[in-house]
Amino acid sequence: MKKIINDPKNIVDEMAEGLVLAYPRYVKRVALAEKDQAVIVRSNKKTGKAALVSGGGSGHEPSHAGYVGEGMLDAAVCGAMFTSPTPDAVFEAVKAVDVGKGVLLVIKNYTGDVMNFEMAGEMAEAEGIKTAKVIVNDDVAVMNSTWTVGRRGIAGTVLVHKIAGAAAEAGLDLEAVRNIGERVIANVRSMGIALSPCTVPAAGKPGFELGDDEIEIGLGIHGEPGVARGKLKAADELAEHILADYILKDNPINPGEEVAVLVNGLGGTPLMEQFIINRRVHEILTKKGVKIYATNVGNYMTAIEMAGFSVSILKLDAELKKFYDARADTIAWRNLG
């Protein structure tokens, strides 16, 4: 194992410290008793709005701390590597950002995340803080997996952060923000392909093995198994396979409808290759008469150093487009129109 780290036990603590030192204009840190977790909040706390809190295990950077800031999240909870943050850590995040308008918990559909965020919500309610939740399950690959009951939450979660975050920033109340988040979840579908595994530092070895010419189709962001293991094919074939055979079959898009496209790297894939995937995605959608309203290409939700990519397609309506376009200024997403 080759990692540029110190002690594996201190990775999250040292990463969070370095993040805050790099971007003090955007974020600051809330003190926690647990050193293997971190809570990152907006440097300039926004009042008069419903707050958004999300998070999960570390190792998916820039998710989720990279989306803390204007127009997106008010706090992100960074658990230990690939491990859900504790209810206490999530509760500290909720308390830190609540301004009396309630807090929306944006949860990826993993058993530990759902359980711990829900427990934190109950703790907050007991303290008089109103909470609501949305559970993101955009992965069309598998219905049940290593860590989930139902579909997993993957890179489509970032689009929930963006659009629900904009709704909150615009002053919508907690229930309206939750409803916007649910609409995004209902209309976004994602799927990924891995070319190589990743290594959790504490484990010291890859989470799975792939041959030099093998790929994992439909894997999860923690290296969970996908739908099949196959041979490496050309980029166009890979893009068409997950888009035509999975994403669009699960959520058909009619000619004339508008979508946002998110091509996401998993940590070890060059932008060059991501752009090649994006080219084919655009070709397929355009040929079907689908209008591509917006596209983002880059590393939005990674799996440490895993090579591979995912594609997310979000069907848009007029209100979702408005919030997609709204100003956001965070470390990892800057839409300053």
Helix axes 156-169 and 174-187, enclosed angle (nearest 10): 150
Which pLDDT belongs to residue 146?
A: 67
3-state helix, strand, coil in the chain (%, to 5): 35, 25, 40
Judging by DSSP bridges, how do beta strands 38-42 and 291-298 pair with one another? unpaired
In contact, 281 and 239? CB cutoff 8 Å: yes
Q: Residue 210: which of 235, 192, 236, 230 has the closest Cα? A: 230
- By CB atoms closer than 10 A (0-12, 13-18, 19+), residue 94 is buried
From 60, 64, 241, 282, active-site residue: 60
Sign of the Cα pseudo-torsion (16, 21, 23, 27, in order): positive
Backbone angles phi, psi at 229, to 5 degrees: -115, 130
DSSP one-letter string for 85-152: PPHHHHHHHHHHH--SS-EEEEEES-HHHHHHHHHHHHHHHHTT--EEEEEE--B-S-SSBTTBSSPP
Please, what are the averages of pLDDT over each run of 10 residues along the chain (337 residues)?
94 98 98 92 97 98 98 98 97 98 98 97 98 98 75 97 98 98 98 95 89 93 90 97 96 98 98 98 98 98 97 98 98 88
From 161, 222, 241, 282, active-site residue: 222
In contact, 84 and 56? CB cutoff 8 Å: yes
In contact, 188 and 140? CB cutoff 8 Å: no
Which pLDDT belongs to residue 243?
A: 97
Q: Provide the CB-side half-sphere exposure for 170 (13 A, CA).
A: 18
Which pLDDT belongs to residue 149?
A: 76
Q: How far, CA to CA in Å, does 19 sit from each of 2, 117, 227, 266, 329?
A: 22, 23, 35, 20, 16
- According to DSSP, residue 170 is labeled T
Rg, the chain, Cα only = 19
Active site residue 64: no
In contact, 72 and 326? CB cutoff 8 Å: no
Which pLDDT belongs to residue 101?
A: 98
> What is the Cα–Cα distance from 161 to 72, expressed in whole angstroms?
5
In contact, 35 and 27? CB cutoff 8 Å: no
Beta bridge partners of 28: 41
Ordered by where they begin, the domains of the chain are 11-187 (3.40.50.10440), 189-335 (3.30.1180.20)
Beta bridge partners of 133: 105
Active site residue 60: yes
